[in-house]
Structures are given as C-alpha cells and as structure tokens.
Structure 1
Amino acid sequence: MPASARLSSLVLAAGLVGVFAVHAVAQPAQNRRIRGIIEKLDGHVLTVKARDGADVTIKLADNYAVTAYTKAQLADIKVGSYIGVAGTPQPDGRQKAISITIFPESARGLGDGFRPWDLPNSTMTNAAVAEAVASPDGQTLKVKYKDGEKTILVPPATPIGQFSPGERTELKVGAAVAVPAVTKPDGSLESSRVGVGRDGFVPN
C-alpha cells in the first residue's frame, strides 16, 4: 500500500474512534447527539435547527473533524460486513432496524456489542454480519459481536449509509448533520466532530 494510502487509512481510523465513540459505549448524561439541519456556521460556531424545531448552537473545537455520510443500498451489506444498527426491540426478540451504517474496514470492531441508544426505545448493535436472508417483512440479518448475536429485521425503507472523511466546506446551510456534543457546566455545547450528509443523505 502506498504511503499516502496508509496515511489516509490511519487518519480515517483515528477520526472514526472519535466520531463513533457514541457507538462504543452508552452515552453519559452530559453528552448529546444533535441531529438536524445547518442554519449557520460562523467561524467555529455551528447553529443547527434540531429535529424538534429548536435552534441549537454548538462551539466547534479549533481542530474539529468532518465525516461525510453517503447513501448505501441493502445490497452493499454482505456476509462479513461490519455494521452499526440503530433498532427497536420487537416482541419476538428481534431488533427492527431504524437505520444502518456500514463501517469501512479500517473501523472493523469499533464499539463491538449491543447497548441502549439515544433515540426513543432504541438500541445500538455494532457487529459483523453472519447471515443475510429474505423474509416476508423485509431482509433479515444475523449479526454477531464478541458477547453474543442479534437478529435484525430490515424493512425495505430503512435508511442505510456509509461514511468517509469529509471536508469543512461541506458544512453548508441546509445540510443535514449529526453532531456528538458535550454539555459544559454552563449549559453550552461543544464538539470536536461533525457528521454531515452528502448528496441529500440524512445521518442518524
């Protein structure tokens, strides 16, 4: 692998550790994931119209990183793919996917496991796909992580995305973002990274 490619892989892997720290552990109370649409970026101050309609201001670190999310297809998920699934528990024990993120190979194993997530009645499963079969109500994936396995029902309309390093120039008014932020003692929000949707994709 050329030196430049190795460097890009290392940078991506390092960035993903930060961007997806929220996948790795249940979020502490002082952490929030702001999802919404960019209203303004003034220097390092980002204003987002959150999904609940509130205007949220986030102070970005001087060295903040940007991750770009793009739309993927169910067909892009193969046996062996490493994915993150936001889901809701079903009465039969399965998890119904709310959204799925396909991880690049450089991020395999990141946040491996099953835990609560910060959407209503939701969970997060980071795991490798062991089996994929069609079912009457959508695709069914069996995924395995270090401590167990889950069966994931994927309805046809489930948003599926993948990500790569982004550019600060992509943080434009109207772009959809998901920002892991820390609430400071004075109530203000700070973040060192921004996930932005590319080509109209909405990150979750």
Structure 2
Amino acid sequence: MHCKRLIASALTLSFAMLAALQSVDAAERVKVRGTVESLDGYTLKVKSRDGDDVTVALKSGWQVDGVVQAAVSDIKPGDFVGIASQPTSSGINGAIEVVIFPASMKGTGEGDRPWDSAPNGSMTNATVANAVTSVNGPTLTLTYKGGERKINIPKGTPVVTLAAATKNDLKPGAGVFITGERSGDSTVSANRVAVGLNGTTPPM
C-alpha cells in the first residue's frame, strides 16, 4: 500500500511539473509598440502601431521607465548602449535606433540577438569601444561578452536615453514599448513599461 502511495504521489508530481512546463511554453514572448489608451489599476490598454487594441496586465511591483530624446554626440567610448540594426550593402550593419543606457544599467541584456523591428534585424546591447566618423555618420565598435559588432549610425537615426518616470506619465496618447508574455486569452502580462516623455516616441 505504501509503495502504491509513493507511485501515486510521484505521478501527481510529474503531471504537475508537466502542466507547469506546458504553461510556460504556452506563454508567447511579444513586444507591444503603440500608444496608451487608458490605465486602470493594473490594467493598461494600448492601441498598437498596427491598430490593434492590446490589454496589458501589469504584474505586482511593475515599473515604468521614461524615454527621452538624446543625440549621437552624447555617445562616448565606455557607454553601454542598445542598438537595433540591420545588414547593409557595405557589410556593416546600419542602426535603426539607439538607446543610451544610464551607467547604473550597464550590462543589461548584454549580447547580440535577433530583433523584429526590421528584416534580418538584430539588437546589440554592448559597450562602445570606439567611434570613427564617416560620411554616413559615426561607426561604432561595440564589444560584448563573446564578440563585437561594428554599426554605422546614419543621420536621422532616433537616439534616446532613459529617465525617471512614474505611472502618472502613462497618459492617453503617450507612446509606449512593452515586452511581455501573451497567454491563450490574448492578454499580455508585463512587469515593465517604457513610456515616451515630452512627446518622445520610444523607437525600440
């Protein structure tokens, strides 16, 4: 009898673990880009760039980051940046947007990975090793653990940095960028929201 109970307990635990794994797999990582429609408690309504209405369920302890305009001239060797880019005919990736991270966030998401803002796009979070001025704008050499990437920043590329913000900045019409998980009911859950301040549109 004792053996049967052990087997039953083991099976119950196995099924519970399987269910947990399936629920993780069912959660799809998504990025929400758009403007705020409303904020009611922990529920944020967003009109996406595609015109869809998206409901974002904010997790307990959620945080908000402000996004403000910056300039290419603000980027210095040693700075930690996040740059979305795509391949060009020159063989050097061209930037689509640049985020200059505050010193306190150095190392955040370090590395090079695919990014969905452009065909064959990538996101490189890395330290600026050096910058070379060129006709098409500065070319930065970015270094991260395990590699490096050169990225040219054409004139007109959006450049932003992060600033303090509060939930009061999530006003209707404010631009937002959110990374979260979408479950079967199409609601996106997230613990962080990036909101544009002073009319800035988060370019991420």
Does TM-score exceed 0.5, indicating one fold? yes
Identical positions, percent: 41
CA 1:55/1:187 → structure 2, altered by over 3 Å: closer, same or farther? Answer: closer
Residue 106 of structure 1 is matched in structure 2 by 104
Tell me if the contact between 2:125 and 2:144 (Cα under 8 Å) persists in the aligned partners. Answer: yes
Which of 43, 46, 54 pairs up with 1:45?
Answer: 43
Structure 2, gaps ≥5 residues long: 1-25
CA contact (8 A) 2:84 2:97 kept: yes
Q: Is the 8 A contact 2:27 2:181 kept in 1?
A: no
TM-score by length of 1: 0.82
Retained in 1: the 8 A contact 2:82–2:126?
yes
1:138 alignment partner, SS class: coil
SS at match of 2:142: strand
Q: State the 1:120 CA deviation.
A: 2.9
Post-superposition shift, 1:92?
A: 3.3
> Which of 64, 69, 72 is the aligned partner of 2:70?
72
TM-score under structure 2 length normalisation: 0.82
> CA–CA distance in 1 between the matches of 2:178 and 2:40?
16
| Number of equivalent positions | 177
Higher Cα radius of gyration = 2
- Over 3 Å counting, the alpha-carbon distance change for 1:39 and 1:162 in structure 2 is same
CA distances 1:59-111 after superposition (whole Å, capped 9, x unpaired): 11232111111111111100111100011122333111110111111111222
| Farther off after superposition, 53-62 or 94-103 | 53-62
Out of 103, 115, 118, the position equivalent to 1:117 is 115
Match of 2:184 in 1: 185
* Structure 1 counterpart of 2:60, from 46, 58, 62: 62
Structure 1 alignment gaps of length 5 or more: 1-27
Secondary structure at 1:186 match in 2: coil
CA distance in 1, matches of 2:134, 2:191: 41
Cα distance between partner residues in 2 of 1:63 and 1:146: 30
Moved over 3 A (4+): none
CA distance in 1, matches of 2:135, 2:27: 39
